[in-house]
Amino acid sequence: MDRRDADALDAADPLARFRDAFDLPPGVIYLDGNSLGPLPRAAAAQVERAVRQEWGQGLIASWNTAGWIEAPQRLGAKVARLIGAGPSEVAVADSTSVNLFKLAAGALSLRPDRKVIITEQGNFPTDVYVLEGLCAQAGAMLKVLPPEEVMAAVDADTAAVVLTHVHYKTARRWDMAAVTQAVQAKGALMLWDLAHTAGALACDLNGAGADLAVGCGYKYLNGGPGAPAFLFVAARHQAAIRSPLSGWMGHAAPFAFEDRYRPSGDIRTMLCGTPPILGLAALEAGLDLQLQADPKAVEAKGLSLCRLFIQLVETRCAGHGLVLAGPREMADRGLHVSFAHPEGYALVQALIARGVVGDFRDPDIARFGFSPLYLSHADVWDAVEILREVLESRAFEAPQFRTRAAVT
């Protein structure tokens, strides 16, 4: 196998045209779109319009005339098309952490006679932390179990199971339909975190019968740093669910300034404060771009990139101590690939110094994301060649690559 094989795969890539829609720095192979997606060219223009025209010239009137007030629902309807939800089942607001709090609390409100929330050990930390905080306040019990014990633990006390569809470290993918069905068979609700799913995999929440979901705007949706997040509430739950974060944007008539809270009864029930318009403007550009691509083609190309990366690392970098940390089967994984290495941190830094941007996750994981809209199989080939050079030269042993930054 050589680089021409990668080129041949690229020649048949139905998504190749999307590369030009991104403003990526020259000389960089960006394998960290699973942490922060790059800048869609349209996002820069859309943010500038939001700032100079809508805010600067339209001022307060833009809440009505520029569609600001409907933005959480308008963007929600766009996200919905990427995750198999109905247009009125998704809203964009707040951060993933805040949305998880709202929806897990909402699950408790829908199952008032059940007091247990179950999640898995090794879930993304903020998910576990937020559930800890919620359960302490709401008088519920959080069970954090090894993944293989989660399903057996679901019982008549379980209000909800909270799992991240694609694991942030290993990329292991849960079977969404099977897990949802098994959880619901016990009368509990299923809440999915789609942080590493939306924009990456062909996701079908309603096909799986999911109850609730949250997800992130700044990873595969390319919504910009700290972009607003999304939340999904199945239509059948919207009239009954309650959010403890009952801010004015969730009120049935926000501008009637009524004395008492009265939930809207639709997806807006899960809104809270004033929508973050500049962040929403950037995210909308990312969504509009993503919606031009067939989600099935996105998943297929992403998995093709992952397959090639694993194959090349295990052949061309053999003998250098890299061990695949995550599923080998494509059907069991998302679009990032993790390899354990005793010098994982320094290795990632040495790669970044050569323009191959991945990231590191404790204790020893070098993580590489394969976002399908702007990466090619040739990029994968080139990245592995640089990895091979770093390993063979042992360049990662240089002392400057061992200094930990605040954010890893």
Kindly list the catalytic residues: 124, 193, 218-219, 367
| CA pair distance 175, 207, nearest whole angstrom | 12
Considering only the stretches 124-132, 174-182, 309-317, 337-345, report the one whose residues sit in contact with its own copies under the rule CB under 8 A.
124-132
Taking alpha carbons only, the member of 400, 397, 375 closest to residue 10 is 375
- 121: exposed, middle or buried (C-beta count within 10 Å: 0-12, 13-18, 19+)? exposed
> Which positions from 261 through 280 interact with its own copies, judged by CB under 8 A?
261, 272-280
**Side-chain-facing half-sphere of 334: CA atoms under 13 Å:** 32
> Which positions from 338 through 367 interact with its own copies, judged by CB under 8 A?
352, 357, 359, 361-362
> Which positions from 215 through 254 interact with its own copies, judged by CB under 8 A?
218, 224-229, 242-251, 254
> Which positions from 173 through 192 interact with its own copies, judged by CB under 8 A?
none
> Which positions from 129 through 168 interact with its own copies, judged by CB under 8 A?
129-130, 132-134, 136-139, 144
> Which positions from 374 through 393 interact with its own copies, judged by CB under 8 A?
none
Q: Does 121 interact with its own copies (rule: CB under 8 A)?
A: yes
Instruction: Convert residues 79-118 into a mask of x (bound to its own copies by CB under 8 A) and - (unbound).
Output: ---------------xxxxx--x---x-------------
| CA pair distance 90, 82, nearest whole angstrom | 11
DSSP string, 28-93: -EE--TTTS--EEHHHHHHHHIIIIIIIIIIGGGHHHHTSTTTHHHHHHHHHHHHHT--TTSEEEE
Taking alpha carbons only, the member of 98, 352, 326 closest to residue 226 is 98
| Contact (CB, 8 A) for 203 and 176 | yes
Q: How far is the CB of 378 from its own copies (least distance, A)?
A: 20
The residue from 10, 54, 343, 379 that contacts its own copies (CB under 8 A) is 54
Considering only the stretches 11-19, 62-70, 84-92, 374-382, report the one whose residues sit in contact with its own copies under the rule CB under 8 A.
62-70
Residue 11 token pair:
């020649």
Q: How far is the CB of 233 from its own copies (least distance, A)?
A: 16
